[in-house]
Amino acid sequence: MLLTRLPQELFYQKRLRLSDFIGTSDVYDLLYTAFSYAEKNNTYHFKFETLDVFNNVAVLCTMVLHDDDIPAAHYRSYWDYIKCKSDTTYQARLTMWLTYGILSLVQPTSGKTDRFLQKIDNKYNLQDQGDIYKNAVLDFIKTAQERKLQMTIYDFPLRMLSTKENPTCWNSINWKEITNDFQTEDIDKVIDIFGDYTDKVRILDMIRKAFILEEEERKREEQENPYNLPF
C-alpha cells in the first residue's frame, strides 16, 4: 500500500513506446492480443490508450509484488490508484484484468499474490463488462500456460530513484501524505525500501524538514486562532 502513495517516477521508469513492451517478450505479445480483443468487443466500443494501459499493468504488478502489506487487504487503494491513472472506469477495469493475467503467470506463486487475484475475481465476476475482459484474459492465461510462458518477480524490479537524480521530483513530494501524517512506522517503511545508505539519510532529512515546516505552520495557526474557532 505504501507504493500507491509514492510518486510513480520514484519506483517505476515509464516506458515511452509500445515497442518497449511489444516484441520484447512472448508474454507481452500475447497480452496485446487479449487487450485488442477486449477493446474491440467492449460494450461501448471505447478506444483505450494502449501504452498507458500497459504501463499501468506493469506498475500495478510492481506494487503487488513488492509492497510489504497484503495487497488484497488494501485492494481499494490499488483500484483508486489505477482509476486515477485511467481515462475511464472501463479502462481501469481492463487494466485490473490484464494485471490479473500477468500475475497469474508469475512464478513462484505466493499467498499474497493469490489472494489479490481472488479479490479481482470476486470483484468483477458478475459484471457484464468485466466478463468480456475476463474471457479475454482467461484465454490469455490458457494460451500462455499451454506455451509454458512464465514471468518472475525479477521482470518487475523495484528500482528506487536515487536522491541524486531528478531533484525537482524530490522537492515536490508531500512527505506528510506519504508517511500518513509522519507516523514512525510509515517513515521506517519509506526508508527501508531504499537500499543505498546515502539515500536513506537524505530522505530522512527531507522528512525531518517537512515535519518541522508542518509544526511551524500548526503553531502559527494556533497563534492566529488560539480557541480553534471555525472562522
Which among 53, 38, 195 has a CA at the least distance from the CA of 203?
195
Q: Is the pLDDT of residue 120 over 80?
A: yes
**What would the pLDDT profile of 153-181 be if each residue is shown by its tens digit?**
999 998 898 988 877 788 888 999 999 99
Mean pLDDT of the chain: 87
**What would the pLDDT profile of 38-73 be if each residue is shown by its tens digit?**
888 877 777 899 999 999 999 999 999 988 666 667
**pLDDT classification of 1: cutoffs 50, 70, 90:** low
Q: What are the extents of the domains in the chain?
A: 2-154, 167-224
Which among 63, 83, 101, 94 has a CA at the least distance from the CA of 193?
63
Is the alpha carbon torsion for 190, 191, 195, 196 positive or negative?
positive
**pLDDT classification of 219: cutoffs 50, 70, 90:** confident
Neighbours of 58 (CB within 10 A): 21
CA distance 65 to 157: 9
Q: What is the pLDDT of residue 32?
A: 96
CA distance 161 to 218: 31
